Each structure stands twice: as structure tokens, then as C-alpha cells.
């Protein structure tokens, strides 16, 4: 959320445009005068020395960064460990809008650092707080970030493989494509990467190959595969080249699935060890992955109301009004997209839960599309989730609540 910082608490405002190897720091006094404007290496000793010198010479300081994680993690951590230094974060979109208010169109580190410092000095309400790092949350953030990368690679590899199979044998792809998450299918493609080689292997060998990893899938899928193979008699040009590529991609997918499982095992352990684990997972539709996302994106941040949290997540509608020509509410295109996606998926998963289903059906009856109804449900669920996190209480169904011991989704 946006935080109203008290300018009287600080005599110095330090804007830090962070970089991989070096940062640019600009320090402004309360009068707007520059007292420091130089680059410095991304090094703990140099950062600590600079902050110590500035605070000893001028007084308490507010350090503002444009990226609180990744390349900005070290300066944030160093500043949080020092006396007389507070740390804040200026979101990228706000930063770009503030840059438009300043003369010139150049994009330099020095200009960006100055704009960050000047915004802190004149518009503290645009800043966001950065909570002191929690070791569990920090580890979760690293692991979930890497899992996001693995997921993107998995999706790309799966789409590439399905595209290649569609090119050489559409019927076979319709059978195999939706089942590429099964190890038995990937093992089959690694051993016999073309339709002709699968035919030559025969039903028995194909069935046994799939059965090693997916016993219940082996028999029905083998029949579907050979039915599809019988429907195409021509060999499409490029099939032999596919014999080289298909095993490579199948191997990559298998490795990616294994790596994701290793990462998610660690994520599961961290989430289950967190004090809020049982609170979060008590709500229908919230599993370990969603809980991990909520811990990394919500816990530790200060939101005054559920509305602030919904706006941050990007699931609160945007109101647009101008005279009599423009009136209405529109979908929010901004917000934290990772959190928004998790809340949407969680709401969708909760449709088997009766109060959630009732609310969803109510929105559909009002004329909303499936996606709009799920977003509306996610927004309603977020009110309950906010109260649960605020009070540290478990979710309870409306029928079972007695004496206000939990929070329920009001349908």
C-alpha cells in the first residue's frame, strides 16, 4: 500500500538507482539541495561507508530504491541493518510517471536517482514500505521465483514438442499432446521419436514402456496411439529430422519436471514450517503453492484495508468517470500479476466449495462471463483472507461459525 511518511523524521533523502555492478546515489537535503551525487559499487562495505558518512554529517535519512529485490536486495539489507536509516521502495510505474513531470527526456542513472530522491522529498505518499527481511520469506521468494522460470521453460518446451508432433502426425499429437506431463509418455518419445518407429516397436513394447511409469494409463493410451497411427499412411517431410529433435525436447521436459519437483519439495517444507501455514490453507482453494505466493507477496507488507490489498493485487475494478460520456468500472490491467494469477487460480479451484459456488453462480446470473465471475469471487475471498491474516484466525464455513471464531466467505 501507499504509506504517508512523515517528512519531519528525515533531514536527508537518498535516491538509489540500483544496478548489477554499481548503483547511482543522489542525496537531497530537505531544502532540495544536492549533498551527494555519485556512482558507487554494489558492495556492502562501500554502501555501509556511504550511509554512515551521510547520516553522521547530516542526520537521519530515508533511502529509496527502485527495485527492492534481486539487484536491490543488498543495499536494502545493508540500510535496514543501520541506525538512523529508513528504507522505502518507489514502484517502477510511479517512477516513470514522476520522470514525465521533470524536464528532459534523457534516461540516465543520475537522472533516475535524482527523481527517486526528489519524489521521496516532495511526495512521500508515493512510497511503499519494505519490511525487514524474514529468512523463511526470503528463501521462499528465491525458490518461487526460480519455479516461475522453470514453469516458463516447461511451457515453452511442451509447446515446441506439441508443435513438432502436429507437423509430422496431427492424430498422434492429439493423443500424446495433452499427456506430456506423464513420464511414461516422455519415455516413449525418447525411445521411439517418430510414428514409424512407434509402429515398428509394436503394441506390446509401447504398452510396457508406458507401464513402467504410468500403469493405469498404459492400456488405453496404447490403443489410442495405434488407432491414430493407422489413420495416417503418408510420411510428412521433416519426420526424420524430428527423430533428432523429439528425444532432446522430451529429455528436457523430464529434467524440468524433476527440477520443479525438487524445488517444490523445498517450498512445501518452508510453507509448512511457517506460522501462518494452517491459517492460509484453512481456506478452500488454497494449497501449498498459493500459500507460498501469499507469503512472499503479501505477508510483511502493510495494507490498511482489504481494498488496498485488492488494488495491489490488481483484482479491484478501476472506476472511470469523466462528465457524462465516460462512466463505469473496468478490469484492472495493473497490479501484482503473480499474486493476481494465484488468487484467480485459487478462486477457480474453490468452485467445488458450496459458498464459493453460490457466489460464482450469482455473478453468472447477473450476466458476467466466467472469467469476470471468478475474478469477482477472488475479490470477495480476498476480504475474508485479509481478515484471517489480520486476526490470525482460521477460515470457517458460514454454517459452522459460532461466536465469531473464524472468517467466512459471505455469499
| Structure confidence at residue 318 (pLDDT) | 64
Burial 59-91 (b: 16+ CB within 10 A, else e): eebbbbbbbbbeebbebbbbbeebebbbbbbbb
297 and 259 both lie in a single domain: no
Q: Which of 232, 216, 221, 220 is nearest to 189 (CA)?
A: 221
- pLDDT on residue 410: 46
Written as tens digits, the pLDDT of the chain (411 aa) is 444 567 788 999 999 999 989 999 999 999 999 999 999 999 999 999 999 999 999 999 999 998 887 788 899 989 989 999 999 888 777 788 888 888 777 789 999 999 999 999 998 888 877 765 567 888 998 999 999 999 999 999 999 999 999 999 999 999 999 999 999 999 999 999 999 999 999 999 999 999 999 999 999 999 999 999 999 999 999 999 999 999 999 999 999 999 999 999 999 999 999 989 999 999 999 999 999 999 988 887 778 889 989 988 988 876 555 555 555 555 666 788 899 999 999 999 999 999 999 999 999 999 999 999 999 999 999 999 999 998 889 998 866 655 554 566 643
Contacts of 134 (CB under 8 A, 6+ apart): 299, 300
Are 150 and 31 in a shared domain? no
pLDDT at position 409 is: 61
One domain, residues 15 and 100? yes
Q: Is the Cβ–Cβ distance between 381 and 310 less than 8 Å?
A: no
Q: Cα–Cα distance between 411 and 404 in angstroms, integer? A: 17
CATH code where residue 17 lies: 3.30.420.10
Domain final position from 85, 107, 133: 133
Co-location of 12 and 115 in the same domain: yes
Q: Measured between alpha carbons, how far is 154 from 286 in angstroms, rounded to an integer?
A: 23
pLDDT of residue 1: 42
pLDDT for residue 346: 95
0.85 cut: is pTM over it? Answer: no
233 is a domain residue: yes
Residue 328 located in a structural domain: no
Residues 95 and 183 in one domain: no
2 within a domain of the structure (yes/no): no
Range of the domain at 225: 139-269
Looking at the fold, whether 129 and 143 belong to one and the same domain comes out as: no
Alpha helices in 302-369 (DSSP H): 306-313, 337-349, 354-365
pLDDT (0 to 100) of residue 135: 76
Are 117 and 78 members of one domain?
yes
Tell me, yes or no, whether 111 and 218 share the same domain. Answer: no
pLDDT of amino acid 332: 67
CATH number at residue 247: 1.10.287
In this structure, the answer to whether residues 122 and 151 fall within a common structural domain is: no
| Calpha distance 174→178 (Å, rounded) | 7
| Torsion of the alpha carbons at 386, 392, 395 and 398, rounded to the nearest 10 | -80
> Which residue has 527517486 as its cell numbers?
116
Confirm whether 292 is domain-assigned. yes
How many structural domains is the chain composed of? 3
Q: Examine the domain organization and report whether 237 and 358 are in the same domain.
A: no
Q: Do 390 and 361 lie in a common domain? A: yes
Domain boundary among 118, 133, 148: 133
Q: Which of 80, 110, 133 is the last residue of a domain?
A: 133
Position 287 scores a pLDDT of 92
Amino acid at each position: 500500500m501507499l504509506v504517508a511518511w512523515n517528512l519531519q523524521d528525515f533531514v536527508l533523502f537518498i535516491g538509489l538507482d540500483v544496478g548489477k555492478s554499481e548503483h547511482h546515489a543522489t542525496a537531497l537535503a530537505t531544502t532540495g539541495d544536492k549533498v551527494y551525487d555519485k556512482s558507487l559499487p554494489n558492495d556492502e562495505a562501500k554502501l555501509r561507508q556511504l550511509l554512515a558518512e551521510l547520516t553522521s554529517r547530516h542526520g537521519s535519512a530515508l533511502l529509496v530504491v527502485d527495485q527492492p529485490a534481486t539487484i536491490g536486495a543488498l543495499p536494502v539489507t545493508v540500510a535496514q541493518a543501520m541506525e538512523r536509516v529508513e528504507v522505502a521502495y518507489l514502484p517502477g510505474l510511479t517512477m516513470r510517471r514522476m520522470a514525465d513531470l521533470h524536464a528532459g527526456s534523457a534516461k540516465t542513472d543520475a537522472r533516475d536517482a535524482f527523481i527517486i530522491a526528489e519524489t521521496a522529498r516532495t511526495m512521500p505518499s508515493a512510497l511503499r514500505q519494505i519490511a525487514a527481511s524474514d529468512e523463511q520469506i526470503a528463501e521462499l521468494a528465491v525458490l518461487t521465483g526460480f519455479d516461475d522460470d522453470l514453469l516458463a521453460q516447461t511451457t515453452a518446451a511442451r509447446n515446441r514438442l506439441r508443435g513438432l508432433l502436429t507437423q509430422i502426425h496431427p492424430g498422434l499429437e492429439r493423443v500424446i499432446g495433452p499427456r506430456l506431463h506423464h513420464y511414461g509418455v516422455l519415455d516413449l518419445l525418447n525411445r521411439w521419436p517418430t510414428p514409424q518407429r512407434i509402429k515398428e516397436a509394436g503394441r506390446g513394447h509401447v504398452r510396457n514402456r508406458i507401464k513402467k511409469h504410468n500403469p493405469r494409463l498404459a492400456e488405453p493410451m496404447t490403443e489410442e496411439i495405434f488407432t491414430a497411427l493407422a489413420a495416417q499412411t503418408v510420411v510428412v517431410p521433416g519426420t526424420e529430422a524430428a527423430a533428432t529433435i523429439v528425444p532432446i525436447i522430451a529429455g528436457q521436459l523430464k529434467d524440468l519436471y524433476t527440477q520443479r519437483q525438487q524445488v517444490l519439495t523445498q517450498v512445501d517444507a518452508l510453507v509448512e514450517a511457517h506460522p501462518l501455514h494452517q491459517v492460509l490453507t484453512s481456506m478452500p482453494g488454497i494449497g501449498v503453492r498459493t500459500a507460498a505466493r501469499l507469503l512472499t507477496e503479501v505477508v510483511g507488507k502493510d495494507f490498511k484495508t482489504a481494498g488496498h490489498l485488492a488494488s495491489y493485487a490488481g483484482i479491484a475494478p478501476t472506476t472511470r468517470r469523466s462528465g457524462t460520456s465516460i462512466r463505469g468500472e473496468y478490469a484492472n490491467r495493473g497490479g501484482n500479476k503473480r499474486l493476481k494469477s494465484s488468487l484467480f487460480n485459487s478462486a477457480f479451484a474453490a468452485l467445488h466449495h458450496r459458498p464459493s459456488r453460490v457466489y460464482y453462480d450469482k455473478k453468472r446470473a447477473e450476466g458476467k462471463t466466467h472469467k469476470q465471475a471468478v475474478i469477482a469471487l477472488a475479490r470477495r475471498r480476498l476480504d475474508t483472507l485479509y481478515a484471517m491474516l489480520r486476526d490470525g484466525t482460521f477460515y470457517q464455513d458460514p454454517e459452522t461459525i459460532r461466536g465469531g471464531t473464524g472468517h467466512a466467505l459471505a455469499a
